[in-house]
Structures are given as C-alpha cells and as structure tokens.
Amino acid sequence: MSAENATLLKTPFHAMHVALGAKMVPYAGFEMPVQYPSGITNEHNIVRTGCGVFDVSHMGEFKITGPQAMEFVNYVTTNNVAALASGQVHYSGILYENGTFVDDCLVYFRSNDHVMMVVNAANKDKDFAHISKYVGKFNCKLEDISDQVALLAVQGPKAQEILATLTDVKLDDIKYYYFTDGKVAGVGPMIISRTGYTGEDGFELYHDVKDAKTVWNALFATGKVQAVGLGCRDSLRLEMGMALYGNDIDDTVTPLEANLGWLVKFKKGDFVGKAALEAQKAAGVPRKLVGFTIADKAFPRHGYPVFVNGKPSGTVCSGTMSPSCGLPLGTCYVPTAHAVVGNQVEIDQRGKKVTATITEMPFWKHGSHK
C-alpha cells in the first residue's frame, strides 16, 4: 500500500467493497469504490432499471440544535429553511460573502430547534469552519457528527419494493424530499429519506456506524440489489443536470451563474452572500451554466477548452458518454446572451474542434423519482 493510501479514511463498508472486487480510488480523503467488476455502464443501467446501493458515508453531517437552530441555518444557506415542514428536506447553497459557493448542501428540518445539514465530503472541514464564524450570532449549538453516521443510498425504480421488506416504516407515506425515523433490518431508529442524486426513486439511510454491517448484509441478502460506485453516480447525476461541486460549481461562481437561482430566496431576510447576489442581479449576470450534447463520437472530458463564436469560454465542467441517452453530453459556462437552447459551442478535443449544441437539462427525462 502506498503512503498516500495509508492515510486515506475508510467508510464502515470498506471491507464489503474490497470483498466484492471493487476498484478502490482516493476520493475526498477516503478510499472509495469507483466501480465493481461488472463495470460503470452496467452499474448505471442497474440504477435506471432496478436497484443499486451506493456507499455515501464519506458525506459530512452537521447537527444544529437549540432555540435558534433554524435561524442560524437560514442565515448561512440560501434557501428558506423557515418554509420547510417538519420532516422535509431541501437543496441549498452555502456562500461566501462575495456570493460564490463554499458548497452545496441538503438541509433536513426536524423543528425550529433541530436541523441537520449534509455537505460534500471534500468540503466538510472547510464548510464547518466557514459556518462556525457565524454561529455566535445565534442561540444554538453546531456539531460535526459525520464520524458517527453511516450512509447508504438505495436507488432505482425497484428501491421501494425491496426496502419495504426490511423496514417498519410505510414507505408510501414518505414523499419525495421528505424523511422519517424508522428501523431497517431491525436496527435504528435511523433517518429514512426519499432523496438521491440519480433521478430515480430511492432512499438514503442515515444510520449509526455500529449498525452498518447489519444494514448492508440485510439489503444484499434480498438478492435484488447490486453494489454501485462513484463512476456511475457521476454519469447518473450528470444526465439529470445535477451540479457537482468542483466541476459545475465552486468558489468562482454564484448560484445565479450556475442556473441555481431558484435556491436563492431573497425575500427571506438576510443571509451570507445576499448583498453580493443582489448586486450581480442588478448589474446583469455575465455567464450561465448550460448543458450541451454532441452528435459526433466524442468524449467531452472535464477541462477541455470551450469556444463561443471563436472566442474562449472556459472549459468543460462535466462530461460523459451518456449510457441512458446514448450520446456525449456535458456542461460548460457561456456568456449569458449565448445561453439559448439550440445555440452552438465548440469544444477543443485534443486539438480537434468538435461542435456541441446547447441542450435543455435534465438530459434524461424518464427518471422514476416521485
């Protein structure tokens, strides 16, 4: 084992991945499965047609409790936490004062005095340090509980019928982007959340690390699920036009540029980055994130140069050969005036210019999510 691998963190499911022959790679400080022997395309198709299980225990979880927990989270994120019902989840942004992304996140709302934020693994420590700067303004407690939480994403159109045999919860009662507490495989209580990053129906199971092996074994004992890795997680989310931090969004872009303006609730009151976003909105948003497809055989890799009317326009943010759509697709930033479906851009693929057409996202419109 290399010195680099020796320092990588392992999720509670690491031994299971190795036993299944997964190709393990460094990711966000963890050693994670990028694919299993069946291959990324097969895993992708399993999630679109059956049920795949992702280990996403590398994600970060912050617990916020106290009389002003809701107000604090509302201040350090862009969406309106006050509008959430108990047991509801929403997608949101964490911004710097200049309006660019620290990270994107999910907010789990239990009550005004108990909220959970779920953040990207690679950004966890940065996120925690950033929002900690503001916690003193509020009567609440902020805790990083990531090391206590194991997380499996059970995704695909058959996810509900499979999970229903293992839980005491009536899954029909959990609406899309809602959660409840219950047991799976007799252990819990755990958070059972109808959320995911694939466009398919499915659930995310937040449970105690000590129960990880029990939950994993119960799922796989059904004989109806397949382990799937980070490779297909990326192709699935890209087909749905879902942003990936470090590719489509980062600390150089704002939600208004990233087509995530719907995450920004200007009327909710003050929040970190609000003034900067209001100024950008007034001045005019200079560029927009767009999706594109390519008719030719090409693989639009992250980082390939993009040109609009012969002029440089950044690089490919995300790109793949789409298993579901059957063609190359990706994302890039273009000047706002050019961000119109049907307009063309050029991508420099190792010295050869390839024409791409701006396409409405999501690219895949047949997902089973409720």
Q: What is the DSSP letter of 209?
A: G
Neighbours of 45 (CB within 10 A): 17
The region that residue 202 occupies, defined by phi over 0 for left and psi between -120 and 50 for alpha, beta otherwise, is left
CA distances from 13 to 153, 156, 349 (A): 13, 20, 38
Q: What is the pLDDT of residue 3?
A: 45
pLDDT, one tens digit per residue, over 192-224 is 999 999 999 999 999 999 999 999 999 999 999
Nearest C-alpha neighbor of 255 from the set 265, 243, 263, 244: 263
Phi and psi at 172, nearest 5°, equal -60, -25
**Structure-token pair, residue 91:** 């997608």
Distance CA 240, CA 228 (A): 18
- CATH (residue range 241-359): 2.40.30.110
Please list, in sequence order, all residues whose beta carbon lies within 8 angstroms of the beta carbon of residue 49, skipping any fewer than 6 positions away. 156, 157
**Structure-token pair, residue 54:** 């992702």
Question: CA angle, corner 91, sides to 361 and 363, nearest 5?
Answer: 15
Sites in the chain below the pLDDT cut of 70: 1-6
The SS3 assignment for 105 reads strand
CA distances from 113 to 145, 270, 355 (A): 17, 19, 52
Q: What is the pLDDT of residue 197?
A: 97
Distance CA 215, CA 152 (A): 9
The dihedral through the CA atoms of 265, 267, 272, 277 has a sign that is positive
CA distances from 164 to 183, 186, 203 (A): 11, 13, 11
- CATH (residue range 1-240): 3.30.1360.120
Question: How do strand 52-55 and strand 226-227 relate by DSSP bridges?
Answer: parallel
Please give the torsion angle defined by the CA atoms of residues 82, 207, 249 and 98, in that order, rounded to the nearest 10 degrees. 50
Question: CA angle, corner 270, sides to 266 and 276, nearest 5?
Answer: 70
pLDDT, one tens digit per residue, over 220-235 is 999 999 999 999 999 9
| pTM for this model (two decimals) | 0.97
Provide CATH 3.30.1360.120 ranges for the chain: 1-240
Q: How far apart are the first and last CA of the chain?
A: 44
Specify whether the CB–CB gap between 104 and 243 falls below 8 A.
Answer: yes
Provide CATH 2.40.30.110 ranges for the chain: 241-359
Distance CA 349, CA 304 (A): 6
Q: What is the pLDDT of residue 5?
A: 56
Average pLDDT, the chain: 97
